Amino acid sequence: RISGDHETPVPGSLEDLGSEARRCTRCPLHCNATQTVFGEGPADARVMFVGEQPGDQEDLAGRPFVGPAGKVFDNALAEVGIDRRNVYVTNAVKHFKYVPRGKRRIHQKPNAGEIEACKWWLRQEIDLVKPQLVVALGATALASLTGRQGRLTDVRGVLMPLDGTRSLLATVHPSYLLRLPDLERQHLEIKRFHADLRLVAEAQ
């Protein structure tokens, strides 16, 4: 197999794929990010979670979902009885995109070109891990996985087919829950997120 526009052989293991990804220059995001944040988890995981892109803390640590959104994610997994060590966790885009503001780095959504450029890595991860179920955390992951630009709410929480052999479940991104200003609404939405993840726990 040939790696898309790069004309290099496709790495045969997750380890090799991760090493390749750490040298990726397919889009300009590698210029300002600290490092590539590749996926992590067992090479034979039955479930793969796909987020949007690393945030500030993930960029520094080199690991997905270790910042505030990661805490929400970890709490939700614990709530529904999924052990994070048994699942593969990655992102649609593997470099942090931000604008500096004083000492802070403010997260920017990846654009369609960046999502498209990074899709190749996600596809290779799926091909190697061969998960039974892929969980899209938010609209960016869903767009990368299906090309679907529509509203997440139309498909959220229902198992759908992916590539003929897998299932796909779309739910909200954990950061969405952190941004809700109304505590009552937040409580409700966290409960809905947990209900979606219970479907994952059952499918595992």
The site for ligand URA (CB under 6 A) is made up of: 51-55, 58, 64-65, 67, 69-70, 91, 175
Phi and psi torsions of 159, nearest 5°: -70, 130
Which of residues 52 and 125 has its CB atom nearest to ligand URA in the complex? Answer: 52
The tokens 């803390």 sit on which residue? 57
Which of residues 51 and 131 has its CB atom nearest to ligand URA in the complex? Answer: 51
Which of residues 159 and 178 has its CB atom nearest to ligand URA in the complex? Answer: 178
Q: Tell me the closest approach of the beta carbon of residue 96 to ligand URA, in angstroms.
A: 9
Which of residues 12 and 78 has its CB atom nearest to ligand URA in the complex? Answer: 78
Q: Are 53 and 93 in contact (CB under 8 A)?
A: yes
According to DSSP H, which parts of 68-111 are helical?
68-80
Q: Tell me the closest approach of the beta carbon of residue 158 to ligand URA, in angstroms.
A: 21
Q: Tell me the C-alpha distance between 9 and 143, whole Å.
A: 26
| Four-point Cα dihedral 49, 50, 51, 57, nearest 10 | 70
Q: Tell me the closest approach of the beta carbon of residue 84 to ligand URA, in angstroms.
A: 13
Q: Are 149 and 108 in contact (CB under 8 A)?
A: no
Q: Tell me the closest approach of the beta carbon of residue 5 to ligand URA, in angstroms.
A: 25
Phi and psi torsions of 21, nearest 5°: -60, -30
Tell me the two tokens of residue 5.
């526009």
Q: Tell me the closest approach of the beta carbon of residue 88 to ligand URA, in angstroms.
A: 13
- Whose CB is nearest to ligand URA? 51
C-alpha angle 67/71/73, rounded to 5°? 110
Which of residues 10 and 111 has its CB atom nearest to ligand URA in the complex? Answer: 111
